[in-house]
Chains A and B, each alone.
Chain A
């Protein structure tokens, strides 16, 4: 059963310079025990998409569509219900976790707070006991409850952030760039931990990252976003190994396979910058940067097309078998 389901979600920021459509029709569903990755570069709308799950977007945003958490639409529920769903049913490990902890409060106190807020019957004692168990689950000694954030390393702080998201036993967990700014070895540890927790608790997990290689090894499925839309989706490893959308191909090419002589002294990137969401090009929004663009791309935006088993890609060439190579 899908614990998180997004149906045709649009989010538009109203600004003085006119409307900025940041998310333009996203469908995404995540089952219990499943890990789904969302990749894309800065400004593609992936963090904005996350904000809809907990209704964290600002008042200047207009949202349409449905965001179902365990079958309930977050976008239309009453505010006191939203407050219960936040942290209780869906929680976020925010980006920039290393700066998200209160520097002058002990770790234990910060972890106890959401437990007491959400469970009125709990006592400080009971909550503290749970905090110790949570710390153990994320691989930290219980004595860290008495530590201040500055006494912990980056990897340890990220573990605390994950424990914090787990305090109220959510069914949906969203991790926004959970390993950016961490070392390779620590990154591997954190990803291993997230996978373990997702399986153990049968949670629906979404991992947001700009690093497709991280998602390929950790997630079951991935969705690639560009200019507010999903442009490719499928089984993680398949999307990474055999990308069908030219944008996905550029992303996978950015991280070389070590040992592959072709990438030696040949870093590959994508020229140009992503389009400004308030001023998208006509036709396929990717065509100005696309190495494979044909004339029709300037006029037609095809949307997601079937591109194999459990696989879709938003590229006109998918149908013609050119991009499928």
Chain B
């Protein structure tokens, strides 16, 4: 463990252009029926300053565990997380400071707001906990930035008096009040109405534009990624199976899993839906070889065998993808990645 705490780090103090680096991270939990659940099983990920990255995959693929680990809420079994090039310091003080820089926005705004706290109290809680000055000013600014104008009109309102979209704006304002560098948003629009969804996504893009906030959005919604993300990282059963610039990944998906995910998006009329059977398998029993092979449509339809890689699919795990922020790469034996990968 390094002696320099994260709290002393500033962007200029580090040579790395990345705000967050995840290096070969493994996080596991005791399984429900014995065994060990490898929720995150070797993940590399870099997030650059001001970047919007979408982390996509099914329930149970480890995307939320990865996000929680980046917040310092889960301790890695191995590997590390770096903030501006410095490893995360898990001391209580350092973590507190770190979390004012890296904020979380949760899925369900109704569940994440205390019904008995007014909007002002909800937004002021963060700055108060961190002993920041000019509380009313911070709250006003944060509410205005989140699109609740004029902010004073909302100070004394309670969550039940607000619409779903307004509640999510209050939650986002709560994060903004700390002037964080990074916001991690876990399914930020999935519980909102269709008409409100676009507004909240537009707000997130505006935050990046105006405040240079870095965004990591955890979602299963590929349309959301197309709307706002610079880069997409697709996870399956604890590993990154494909990543790259959004246009490339969504217009020309390489991994069979990404292809399947994309084919079931309701708007994708022109492609035939590849509905995978079953749900994401059990992280306590990760299949040998390529972890996707039991559900893989390319194994099922004989493509893998014809290409002569079936043995590899069954017996050899594809390489763990390197943390490269520019290339489009996929962890599949059928895919030839760019030479640098």
Q: Which of A154, A184, A253, A254 has a CB less than 8 Å from the CB of B265? A: A184
Could you say which of B197, B200, B265 contacts A258, with CB atoms under 8 Å apart? B265
Contacts of B223 in A (CB 8 A): 255-256, 258
Q: Does B299 contact A (CB under 8 A)?
A: no
B194 contact from A186, A192, A255, A266, Cβ within 8 A:
A255
CB of A213 within 8 A of CB of B267, answer yes
Q: How far is the CA of A188 from the CA of B193 in the complex (A)?
A: 20
Mark each residue of chain B from 246 to 274: 1 if its CB lies under 8 Å from any CB of chain A, else 0. 11001100000000111011111100010
| Contacts known (A263-B227, A265-B205); A270 close to B199, Cβ less than 8 A | yes
> Are A153 and B279 in contact (CB-based, < 8 A)?
yes
Let me know if A278 is at the binding interface, CB within 8 A. no
Which A167-190 residues have a C-beta within 8 angstroms of B? 181, 183-189
Q: Are B197 and A267 interface neighbours, CB within 8 A?
A: yes
A258–B268 CA distance with the chains assembled, in angstroms: 8
| A267 CB contact (under 8 Å) in B58, B227, B265, B266 | B227
Is A188 a contact of B227 with CB atoms below 8 Å? no
Nearest Cβ in chain B — how far from A108, in angstroms? 21
Whole-angstrom distance between the alpha carbons of A255 and B205 in the complex? 16
Q: Is B163 a contact of A273 with CB atoms below 8 Å?
A: yes
In the complex, are the beta carbons of A185 and B197 less than 8 A apart? Answer: no
> Which residues of chain B are near A70, meaning CB under 8 Å?
none
Q: Is A210 an interface residue (CB 8 A)?
A: yes
Beta-carbon contact of A257 and B267 below 8 Å: yes
Taking a contact as CB atoms under 8 Å apart, the answer to whether A184 and B193 are in contact is: no
User: Does the CB pair B222–A258 fall under 8 Å?
Assistant: yes
Q: Are A265 and B228 in contact (CB under 8 A)?
A: yes
Is A155 interfacial (CB-CB < 8 Å)?
Answer: yes
A289 nearest in chain B by CB position: B195
| B276 CB-CB contact with A under 8 Å | yes
- Distance A112 CA – B193 CA, assembled complex (angstroms): 36
Residue B156 CB within 8 A of the other chain: no
A251 near B194 (CB under 8 angstroms)? yes
User: Which residues 106-156 of A sit at the B interface, judged by CB distance below 8 A?
Assistant: 153-156
Chain B residues with Cβ under 8 A from A257's Cβ?
A: 267
The tally of residues in A whose CB lies under 8 Å from a CB in B reads 42
Complex interface residues of chain A between 267 and 300 (CB less than 8 A to chain B): 267-271, 273-274
Q: Which of chain A's residues has its CB closest to B196's CB?
A: A269
B11 at the interface (CB under 8 A from A): no
Q: Is the CB of A267 within 8 A of B202?
A: yes
Whether A183 contacts B59 by the Cβ 8 Å rule is yes
Contact with A along B128-171 (1 / 0, CB 8 A): 00000000000000000000000000000000000111100000
Q: List chain A residues, Cβ under 8 A from B333.
A: none
Q: Is A214 an interface residue (CB 8 A)?
A: yes
CB pair B275–A192 under 8 Å, yes or no, is yes
Chain B count of residues within 8 A CB distance of the other chain: 43
B279 touches A186 (CB 8 A): yes
B194 near A184 with CB under 8 A, answer: no
A185 and B201 contacting across the interface, CB-CB below 8 Å: no
- B264:A184 contact, CB within 8 angstroms: yes
Alpha-carbon gap, A189 to B147, bound state (A):
38
Task: State whether B266 touches A259 (Cβ < 8 A).
Answer: no
A194 to chain B, nearest CB (A): 13
Residues A154 and B267 in contact, CB atoms below 8 Å apart: no
* Contact digits for B180-212, partner A, Cβ 8 Å, 1 yes 0 no: 000000000010011111111110010000000
CA distance A258 to B224 in the complex (A): 9
What A residues does B222 contact at CB under 8 A?
Answer: 184, 258
Asked if B260 and A185 make an inter-chain contact with CB atoms under 8 angstroms apart, the answer reads: yes
The residue in chain B whose Cβ has the minimal distance to the Cβ of A266 is B227
From residue B278, how far is it (CB to closest CB) to chain A in Å? 9
Interface: B90 (CB within 8 A):
no
CA distance A192 to B250 in the complex (A): 24
B275 touches A267 (CB 8 A): no
Q: Mark A202-240, 1 if CB is under 8 A from B, else 0.
A: 000000001111101100000000000000000000000
A265-B205, A265-B227 in contact; A254/B194 too (CB < 8 A)? yes
A256 to B189: give the CA distance in the assembly, Å.
14
> B246 — which chain A residues lie within 8 A by C-beta?
264
Asked if B199 contacts A269 (CB within 8 A), the reply is yes
Establish whether residues A210 and B193, one from each chain, have CB atoms under 8 Å apart when the complex forms.
yes
Q: How far is the CB of B194 from chain A (nearest CB, A)?
A: 4
Q: Which B residues are CB-close (under 8 A) to A156?
A: 279
Interface hub of B166, B226, B246 (most chain A Cβ within 10 A): B226
18 A-B residue pairs with Cβ-Cβ distance under 8 Å, sorted by A, are A41-B196, A184-B220, A184-B221, A184-B222, A185-B261, A186-B59, A212-B194, A213-B265, A250-B195, A254-B194, A254-B195, A255-B223, A258-B268, A264-B227, A267-B201, A268-B198, A270-B196, A270-B198
Apart from A256-B223, A258-B222, A258-B262, list 14 A-B contacts with CB within 8 A: A184-B221, A186-B59, A188-B275, A217-B269, A251-B195, A254-B194, A255-B223, A256-B227, A258-B267, A259-B226, A264-B247, A265-B205, A267-B198, A267-B228
